[in-house]
Structure 1
């Protein structure tokens, strides 16, 4: 009998960039986000293997949650916004509304110097395909983009649905499955049962 795989995706607490509605600039958690992450420590299963996106806010969230043994996984990085990095959505929309509009509506269009939604979805799907069956719980502290891509893959949804998925900070999304078929439990706030 094939054993079930479980991946618990945890989104990071708020960062300064998120509060500004800006593309991630690699900055740290804001003080309120860090406090919320510390308050949620102990809410994840003990003894789980832990991986983390390479961003500062994901690493800081993992540490605040008490997940010190996390290994960084580049394939779980958030979407690369290229030259838009650090700029707000309003700034990019004012400077290049056509490019932003296409990137947000056409999954194969790349951000200038960055990547497309389709590329992120494919990258995360490859990673999920490599999760060993029966290897126990795996906690992944990842960017909301990675959670969106994982849910797209699990549900068999088209990449065009990517931006229709809202992923709140400091929430848990669980994928469980076997034989390449996943079930999804969405968006439980950390610290709740």
Structure 2
């Protein structure tokens, strides 16, 4: 089995210091759309629900399956809010404590487990998959493939608009991380 992890571009809100609204979706970005079109129609695409891929299909012939488990971390009541407006102590805990969850949200550990469980339960013989999700989700897939936990988040960076590659035989192997798409 081979898995291409395509890290989408970041939503404009994130660049402005705003946690995107819950259930918002963003387009994949030009480099992701171009890479998907160049990859042909022979590998299925599994997309996170927060990445809108309808415009990225090559001729619309390849089905895109949306996988809820690949959504980014749920930030609860923080969705749509600017980081400057949140209590500094909570921001510190959000960054440093993997078990901290914003009000009505999800902890980093819970998000990592949800995403890792999806990877763990891919059936043998799946073939080649293309997964398109936000960079944090691709990072968590890589961490699980490497046998790590949420503590590794600080040690691995997956930039937006990049490709990472994993393969599974008896276990997962990572062959590329954060290769630019363009």
Contact 1:110 1:116 in 2 (8 A): yes
Give the match for residue 83 of structure 1: 77
RMSD (Å) for aligned C-alpha atoms? 2.2
Looking at structure 2, the residues matched to 153 and 101 of structure 1 have their Cα atoms a distance apart, in angstroms, of: 25
TM-score (norm 2): 0.85
Give the match for residue 16 of structure 1: 12
Give the match for residue 188 of structure 1: 179
- Segments of structure 1 that go 5 or more residues without pairing to the other structure are none
What CA deviation, in whole Å up to 9, does each residue of 1:22-49 have, x standing for no partner? Answer: 22221534xxx74444444433354111
TM-score (norm 1): 0.80
Deviates more, 1:124-133 or 1:64-73: 64-73
Match of 1:148 among 139, 144, 158: 139
- Segments of structure 2 that go 5 or more residues without pairing to the other structure are none
Match of 2:52 among 49, 53, 59: 59
Q: Match of 1:59, SS? A: coil
Match of 1:132 among 123, 129, 141: 123
State whether structure 2 residue 97 is matched by structure 1 residue 106: yes
What CA deviation, in whole Å up to 9, does each residue of 1:86-117 have, x standing for no partner? Answer: 2233333xxx1111211211111112211011
State whether structure 2 residue 22 is matched by structure 1 residue 28: no
Equivalences, count: 178
